[in-house]
A and B are shown apart, each in its own frame.
Chain A
Amino acid sequence: MNMKSSTDTEQLEMFRRELDDKIKGALVAIASDAIVDLRRRVEAGKGLKDEQMEPYTKAYAKFRESKGRKSKPRTLTFTGTMLGAIHVADVEKRGAKWVAVVGLADARSKKLALYNQKRTPWFGWSPSNKKEIKQSTRDHMTDVFGG
């Protein structure tokens, strides 16, 4: 009787671990899709409210053109380092919740991101990003739990 109980516990533990791995993988996928969606929004010149971000100043636009970059729309890309630094920083279980953390990989990019955030909010999930995340979550969680 005791032996059976022990096997049940082990199986349950194994099932729990498998489920955790699947959820973790699904969250990495959801977060990765979300990052791409965020980048596509910014590269289209759209801000945190899906609005067109304000244009670059005349002097900076002129500087960008002199370096072969596009001067409009505001895409927050010059060397590509800041947007390239956005990544899935962590996926972890906090109590009963699973959390995926999206951040910037290096301090220089964080500094630049904060500066730009103050000028024209861009980092975060816009209404269109949220819609995409919801859809993505539905798809990936269906894969995990079956639909």
Chain B
Amino acid sequence: MSDQRIRQAMRSTEEATKALARAYANQVARWSTDLTEQLMINMNEAGKFSPIVRRSRYLDGLIKTMSPQLLEGTHGLLLQAGSFSIGELSALPGAGDVARPSLLALENVAAANYQTLLGDMAHVTTVLKKSLKVEIEALFVSPKSMYLSSKILAARSHLTVAQAKTIINTSMAAVQRDVHQAAFSAMPDKKAMGIYMGPDDAVTRPFCEVLVNRVIKQEYFSKLKNDQKGASSFVRNGGGWNCRHRLMPITASYAKRNKLIPINIRTVDKANSAAKASR
């Protein structure tokens, strides 16, 4: 009989806890909706946020102002749940001798739980603030930052963030090279030439190292092989994935004035061999 009562008391306590969790979840959902509405006030007809939304101070202030709403009525809920379970326990045999639930004791239990909840809320608002910032940045920044673009691409594919970054870098560089190609075709010089510009440092590929700051005649463009799978076109990809070099169009008169001697076929072979050797 006593076991049955204990089980019943446990069940009731469990149900009371579930009801409390449900009520609280509804409260958090209402709060999130209110927060979003507050943010939407700063959105114009074109669907763009005003610059103030991006300020950390604004978002911090908004969450700080609205946070008390999260705890509204929770004290009552805790008190109600506590009262219910302690009331159930009082039905147990000898409970009167073990514990006499007073209003003060009930208040203390509720207050302790309220403090715990407050601590949890600080964590919830911090996480929410961070995700809100990312969302706002994504809506606001045009174009997106490299980090954000990489993160979005990685999230939408099976790539890692580093792989996504390589793809974005390489694609952007390819677009820039296309733009330079347009200048090549618009130049009056019949024999177009380019200068291979970019850094020469510890991470420069051997292929690029041979060509950097050298003048290359157009007839050699197709002969240069960087040996990079998926980014093998010298004109579009330079030295390959993540290549930081650009083939900038120049005129023969500029090269002559600045004593820049165009490379010959031997240098082309040297670059190609370097690319092969470094694989």
Interface residues of A (CB under 8 A from B): 22, 24-26, 28-29, 31-33, 35-37, 39-40, 43, 67-70, 75, 77, 79-81, 83-85, 87-88, 91, 105-108, 132, 135-136, 139-140, 143
Chain A residues positioned under 8 Å from B188 (CB to CB): 22, 25-26, 28-29, 140, 143
Contacts of A77 in B (CB 8 A): 198-199, 244
* A36–B248 touching, CB < 8 Å: yes
Residues of chain A within 8 A of B143, CB atoms compared: 106-108
Of all chain B residues, which has the CB nearest A108? B143
Are B173 and A81 in contact (CB-based, < 8 A)?
Answer: yes
A68 proximity list for chain B (CB < 8 A): 201-203
Q: Which residues of B contact A84 (CB under 8 A)?
A: 173, 176-177, 198, 244, 246
B180 CB within 8 Å of chain A: yes
Cα–Cα, bound, A138→B244 (Å):
33
The count of residues in chain B whose C-beta lies closer than 8 Å to any C-beta of chain A is 36
Given known contacts A70-B199, A108-B146, A36 and B250 CB-to-CB distance under 8 angstroms = yes
Quick one: closest B residue to A31, CB to CB?
B183
The segment from B90-98, B101-109, B122-130, B251-259 that touches chain A is: B251-259
B186 at the interface (CB under 8 A from A): yes
Indicate if B240 sits at the interface (CB-CB under 8 A).
no
**In residues 195-212 of chain B, which contact A (Cβ within 8 Å)?**
195, 197-199, 201-203
B21 at interface by CB-CB < 8 Å: no
Asked if B82 is at the interface of the complex by the 8 Å CB criterion, the answer is no
Between A75, A81, A84, the greatest number of chain B beta carbons within 10 A of the residue's beta carbon is seen for A84
Q: Is the CB of A32 within 8 A of B248?
A: yes
Indicate if the CB atoms of A25 and B187 lie closer than 8 Å. Answer: yes
Q: Which residues of B contact A88 (CB under 8 A)?
A: 183, 186
The answer to whether B142 has its CB under 8 Å from any CB of chain A is yes
- Does the CB pair A25–B173 fall under 8 Å? no
17 contacts between A and B (CB under 8 A): A25-B186, A29-B189, A32-B183, A33-B253, A69-B199, A69-B202, A79-B242, A80-B199, A81-B169, A84-B198, A88-B186, A105-B175, A106-B143, A106-B172, A107-B142, A136-B253, A140-B251
Q: Return chain B residues, CB-CB under 8 Å to A32.
A: 183, 187, 248-251
CB distance from A14 to the nearest CB of B (A): 18
- Indicate if the CB atoms of B142 and A36 lie closer than 8 Å: no
CA distance A11 to B143 in the complex (A): 48
Residues of B147-187 whose CB lies within 8 A of A = 169, 172-173, 175-177, 179-180, 183, 186-187
